[in-house]
Chains A and B, each alone.
Chain A
Amino acid sequence: MTQMALVIDLNVCVGCQACVTSCKSWNTSGTAGALADLRPYDEDPTGTFFNRVQTFEVGSYPNTETVHFPKSCLHCEEPPCVPVCPTGASYKREEDGIVLVDYDKCIGCKYCSWACPYGARELDMERKEMTKCTLCVDRIYNEDLPERDRKPACVLACPTSARLFGDVHDPESVVSTAIRERGGYQLMPEWATQPANHYLPRRKTEISIRPDQIMRTDNPRKVDGLQPKPDASSPALDDAASW
């Protein structure tokens, strides 16, 4: 069985919102219908987005870290939003594990959004149908697109490659490797929803510099016992060229 998913690297996400805008732009232009954008330039703008990037501050000053946190449907392997749907509009695809809404069947009762602990579903204000991330089903198998573009719009837009896309059930895929090697984790594991999307944690950034990279090995002092000229702390031609 295949389970397509996103793996989001919190270590490199810079919170630029490129994935948010490219998601909206792709998904509001498709055949499924536009996503609402009410009062976009007025006081109280609101609209439907499949993907949001939030920001959290972890720790107390001065030891804080700013974590940018992209959030979209996690395509749970045990999706609590699916069985509650009275019309069968919400379903999980057998072939690739993507959780989708059949918009033509949805009556807009919002029950599925109550049943998602992550707040990943949004009722479109204009269409009055439940909408959510589709993992770009209309891109990833789309033969009209060049092979390299058959990925979710957010993945292609990310300037830091913080978003990986692939099959989490294939142990050799880039996503499985990343989860395995970098401690990928799921959100709210306490509800046993088994989200397919994983997050990669922050990593300690350490500089590894060997002493010989700081001290020139061909320091003249080592050769003839005399003070180097000019001394090590003032700028030299090598400093300008070393980068």
Chain B
Amino acid sequence: MNPAFSVILLTTLTGTSQGLFLAMFGAHLMHALNMPSIDPGSDFYIAGTVVSLLLAGGGLVASFFHLGRPERAWRTATMWRTSWLSREVIVLPAFMGSVALYGLGHLLDWAPQAVLAIGAAGAFFAVALFICTGMIYACLKFLQEWATPLTVVNYLVLGCASGVTLASASAAFSAASLTPAFTLAAVALTLLGLATRSASLIRNSRIRHRSTLQSAIGIHHPRIVQKSQGLMGGSFNTREFFHHRTLAFLRSVKWTFLLLAFILPLPLLAFGALNASAPLLCLAFVIQYIGLLAERWYFFAQANHPQNLYYQTIS
């Protein structure tokens, strides 16, 4: 597929937003359940809410650039019975709404139980949103690189990893006592992300594509070459479904994202937590986020659409 920057931004920004909210709510829940934890104070929650909303809002704005007719976007909420995209469109505002209420609850000192309940709803929507986003891709069974539960797992784990990294950076500013716990969780999630993303890379490198030129045109002869694709100047089919880059470029993007999203953030997180250094933790987040942009680009570029079988030779 040809990666669209709008979708890359949408999925990475909202993923971080969801992860950040889950981290915040996790800390809140631990505190509420009287587990050994520290109350970070409402400033931390309010700041986190604002950042989480800004990220999700940014993703929402980016998503509109993907649409040809954004003025009709309200219609997308109608087919939730069959379409994961429609479900995502419903869950995203539900998530943002709960996050906003959650922040408002902290700001206005609502009853603790009520705020906790709103937070639980937000956490539910955050997880549901990860599932919807992942399923949009995983449900397309002939895009074999995507059609695996690992797709959903990666959206969940990578979103949480970047969100929790951001949470540890934001804790360094307003709730330093929480930084070690968040950093530990960020390191664990980053390592887990490295494992699950590598698993999908290994799986995808071994895929045997079920569609062939033979099944595409229904002629079963070992040697078929295309002589013309019926057009010479390009079409939607030649633009939308192929990245037009070399294999070497693809490979370099792969190593770049493995390095930036998983390897480099680890020492930065560790040193950042040991020295309680907010700049280092921020740097860890920025590097990981850039790595995830590359990861998402690669996720799209690597998917091999069977329609490309019909567009091998111009003429």
Contact = CB atoms under 8 A, between A and B. Distances in A.
Contacts of B241: 119
A114 B143 contact: yes
B113 interface: no
B231 interface: yes
Contacts of A236: none
Contacts of A185: 218
Chain A interface category by residue count: 35 or more
B141 A122 contact: no
A39 B233 CA distance: 10
Interface in A82-125: 82-89, 105-111, 113-119, 121-123, 125
Interface residues of B, number: 57
B217 A128 contact: no
Contact of A83 (B83, B211, B225): B83
Contacts of B1: 114
Given A85-B83, A106-B69, A129-B68, A123 B218 contact: no
B305 A114 contact: yes
B83 A46 contact: no
A20 B230 contact: yes
Interface in B216-239: 216-219, 221, 223-237
Contacts of A243: none
A46 B221 contact: no
Given A119-B237, A119-B311, A109 B85 contact: yes
B68 A128 contact: yes
Contact of B230 (A54, A67, A129): A54
A54 B216 contact: no
A86 B81 CA distance: 9
A74 to B, nearest CB: 12
Interface stretch (A133-141, A150-158, A187-195, A223-231): A187-195
Contact of A55 (B72, B82, B226): B226
Interface of B: 1, 66-70, 72-73, 75-79, 82-86, 89, 136, 139-143, 210-211, 213, 215-219, 221, 223-237, 240-241, 305-308, 310-311
Interface of A: 17, 20, 39, 43-49, 52-60, 66-67, 69, 71, 80, 82-89, 105-111, 113-119, 121-123, 125, 127-129, 185-191, 199, 201-202
